[in-house]
């Protein structure tokens, strides 16, 4: 129905697929795959690949396989195979029955290796890892052939069989392809196909002590599954020649590999190595810490999956190096949440206001709109009492020109309630800190407008000081202080933002939030979007700030500051 809106912008991969369909290269089929290694959590960079692969297949009436590239048991764990599937599902994609594992093909791969040996195109090598490196040559000099390169086929076959049987220790032997030690493409200098690892595998258990290298497995896995378009990141461009070589020697079907640039996001890091460090060194509280760029972290932070998908559509797909501004992701998050997140009131840093002409002990219920963007969302009652809390930063005793919130003698509107006028400022005599405001309300302004037509410049959010619920609120900010921590000099961790998490406890939220379910989203009016954290308990909900609202006042303050400074 709304097809034009959902059609993603054009990109070079789409053109290739369209062209392939025109020429009938794959008979009009479009089969892609998402092939994660279960050695860590998925992050926003994976989301780009997921959206690309699943989206492309869906748009061309094909399908996308889900395949774990589980060829290295020493790094892989079931925890990850589970979290990865949960994350892809959460993102909104469905692979039906098409869940595969590279380990499903171990036997087939082994058979193909035997075939290459018989054809004289692979050999068992006894060089140590150091020696292999040494023999490989350098970027500018050719390598030297392994002394074991011309072993008779029968001997290779025998040794390879015994490698599988477990007769040799880890690292003692490898199976290598016999290609060309002088190839300018280093991937073609007799690459290792199998290494010995007496390591139990999360799926095959101890059936194998011989594991295929990714380069040996990947092309054939794609081929077995009939993948038409095998999308991967740029660093695999050099490997394509090797995948093609294997497929050619084996006489197998060739998928078409297309490389695209991986995503870089500002103010964070997206390499598994660095994310793992953050987790292991406890710079964050686990993989799903809301500051992490992982899907699990973003989910906990409150980023809706639709926002992440929209982001992936907007960033496009290209081949050049890029650094996408976090502001774009935040825009997508706000754009989505704005449409459907219910609005509530919460005060983070309370300043008590006593409304002197409002009777003590009286509670008046006012009607508040749940979502101005969605009339169907209805209204809810909120209690108004003699003592309320307003946000501390909404009052200034000596307001600058552009500040039009509350000040002595000034009148403002309390959202969905009454006009409030401030008469008196009570301070701590010792510190001079404002501790309480005294004022009066105008009963005639119930609901928020004055019968006499007088206007106020500001509307403040508030909660009843007697009826509000205490809650813990976690304010998150960007994890790093610089746009591109991993390209900065020195250890990336020195650029961690020391203020990336601030906990406010207690903050005060309106009573309707009692029992809010973990994972549910709200807009705290004038403050931002918040998501209920799983750490919440019955008597103390915990809210994570997903993202702030766009803040025009903050910008005014900033530009004033800059103006003064220069």
- Three-state secondary-structure class, residue 292: coil
The 3-class secondary structure across 508-566, one letter per residue, is: EECHHHCCCCCCCEEEECCCEEEEECCCCECCECEEEEEEECCCHHHHHHHHHHHHHHC
Q: Are 362 and 446 in contact (CB under 8 A)?
A: no
25 vs 44: CA distance, rounded Å: 32
Q: Annotated catalytic residue: which of 25, 144, 197, 262?
A: 262
Q: CA angle, 418 as apex, 417 and 419 as ends, to 5°?
A: 145
91 vs 491: CA distance, rounded Å: 32
* Rg from Cα positions in the chain: 31
Minimum separation from the CB atom of position 539 to RNA (A): 27
Q: Is 390 or 472 the residue whose CB approaches RNA more closely?
A: 390
Burial 361-378 (b: 16+ CB within 10 A, else e): eeebebebbbbeeeeeee
Phi then psi for residue 118, to 5 deg, are -60, -35
Question: Of 384, 397, 387, 389, nearest to 351 (Cα)?
Answer: 389
215 vs 222: CA distance, rounded Å: 12
Q: Is 37 annotated as catalytic?
A: yes
Question: Of 155, 173, 154, nearest to 163 (Cα)?
Answer: 173
Q: Is 322 or 540 the residue whose CB approaches RNA more closely?
A: 322
Minimum separation from the CB atom of position 71 to RNA (A): 4
Q: Is 325 or 397 the residue whose CB approaches RNA more closely?
A: 325
Q: Is 62 or 73 the residue whose CB approaches RNA more closely?
A: 73
Phi then psi for residue 63, to 5 deg, are -145, 165
Minimum separation from the CB atom of position 374 to RNA (A): 10
Minimum separation from the CB atom of position 129 to RNA (A): 4
Q: How many CB atoms neighbour CB 166 within 10 A? A: 13
Q: Is 384 or 476 the residue whose CB approaches RNA more closely?
A: 384
122 vs 113: CA distance, rounded Å: 7
Minimum separation from the CB atom of position 312 to RNA (A): 10
Q: Is 262 annotated as catalytic?
A: yes
Minimum separation from the CB atom of position 303 to RNA (A): 15
Q: Is 424 annotated as catalytic?
A: no
Q: Is 247 or 285 the residue whose CB approaches RNA more closely?
A: 247
Burial of 273 (0-12, 13-18, 19+ CB in 10 A): exposed
Q: Is 36 or 305 the residue whose CB approaches RNA more closely?
A: 36
- Nearby residues of 130 by Cβ (< 8 Å), 6 or more positions away: none
Q: Annotated catalytic residue: which of 37, 76, 330, 411?
A: 37
Minimum separation from the CB atom of position 537 to RNA (A): 27
Q: Is 325 or 535 the residue whose CB approaches RNA more closely?
A: 325
Taking the CA of residue 362 as centre, how many other CA atoms within 13 Å lie in the half-sphere pointing to its CB? 9
For the chain, counts of helices (H) and of strands (E): 14, 25
Cα separation values, 445 from 6, 371, 378, 421, 451, Å: 45, 22, 22, 12, 7
Minimum separation from the CB atom of position 177 to RNA (A): 11
Enzyme catalytic residues: 37, 262, 272
């Amino acid at each position: 129905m709304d097809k034009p809106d959902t059609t993603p912008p054009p990109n070079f991969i789409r053109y290739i697929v369209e062209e392939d369909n025109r020429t009938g290269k794959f008979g009009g089929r479009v089969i892609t795959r998402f092939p994660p290694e279960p050695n860590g959590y998925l992050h926003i960079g994976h989301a780009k690949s997921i959206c690309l692969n699943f989206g492309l297949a869906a748009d061309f009436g094909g399908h996308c396989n889900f395949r774990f590239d589980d060829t290295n048991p020493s790094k892989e764990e079931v925890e990850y195979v589970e979290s990865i599937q949960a994350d892809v599902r959460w993102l909104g994609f469905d692979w039906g029955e098409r869940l595969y594992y590279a380990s499903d093909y171990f036997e087939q791969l082994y058979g193909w290796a035997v075939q290459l040996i018989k054809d004289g195109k692979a050999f068992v090598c006894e060089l140590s890892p150091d020696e292999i490196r040494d023999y490989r040559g350098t970027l500018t000099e050719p390598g030297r052939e392994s002394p074991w390169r011309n072993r008779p086929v029968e001997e290779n076959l025998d040794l390879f069989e015994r490698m599988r049987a477990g007769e040799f220790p880890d690292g003692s032997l490898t199976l290598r392809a016999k290609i060309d030690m002088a190839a300018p493409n280093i991937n073609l200098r007799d690459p290792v196909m199998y290494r010995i690892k007496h390591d139990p595998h999360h799926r095959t258990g101890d059936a194998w002590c011989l594991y295929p290298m990714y380069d040996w497995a990947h092309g054939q896995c794609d081929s077995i599954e009939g993948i038409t378009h095998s999308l991967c990141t740029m660093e695999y461009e050099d490997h394509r020649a090797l995948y093609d070589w294997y497929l050619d020697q084996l006489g197998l079907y060739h998928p078409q590999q297309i490389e695209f640039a991986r995503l870089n996001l500002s103010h964070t890091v997206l390499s598994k190595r660095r994310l793992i460090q953050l987790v292991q060194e406890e710079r964050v509280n686990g993989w799903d810490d809301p500051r992490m760029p992982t899907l699990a972290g973003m989910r906990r932070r409150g980023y809706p999956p639709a926002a992440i998908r929209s982001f992936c559509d907007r960033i496009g797909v290209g081949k050049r190096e890029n650094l996408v501004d976090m502001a774009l992701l935040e825009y997508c998050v706000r754009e989505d949440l704005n449409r459907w997140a219910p609005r509530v009131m919460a005060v983070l840093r309370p300043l008590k206001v006593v409304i002197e002409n409002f009777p003590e002990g009286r509670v008046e219920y006012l009607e508040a709109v749940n979502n101005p963007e969605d009339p169907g969302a209805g209204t809810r009652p909120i209690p108004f009492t003699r003592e309320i809390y307003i946000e501390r930063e909404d009052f200034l005793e000596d307001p600058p020109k552009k500040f039009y919130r509350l000040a002595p003698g000034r009148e403002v509107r309390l959202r969905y309630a009454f006009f409030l006028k401030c008469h008196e400022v009570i301070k701590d005599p010792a510190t001079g800190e404002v501790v309480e405001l005294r004022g009066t309300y105008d009963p005639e302004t119930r609901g928020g407008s004055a019968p006499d037509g007088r206007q106020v410049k500001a509307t403040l959010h508030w909660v009843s000081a007697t009826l509000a619920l205490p809650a813990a609120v976690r304010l998150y900010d960007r994890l790093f202080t610089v746009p591109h921590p991993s390209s900065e000099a020195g250890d990336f961790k020195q650029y961690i933002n020391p203020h990336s998490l601030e906990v406010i406890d207690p903050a005060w939220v309106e009573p309707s939030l009692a029992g809010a379910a973990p994972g549910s989203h709200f807009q705290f009016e004038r403050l931002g979007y918040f998501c209920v954290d799983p750490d919440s308990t019955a008597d103390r909900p915990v809210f994570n700030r997903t993202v702030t609202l766009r803040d025009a006042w903050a910008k005014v303050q900033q530009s004033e500051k800059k103006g003064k400074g220069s």
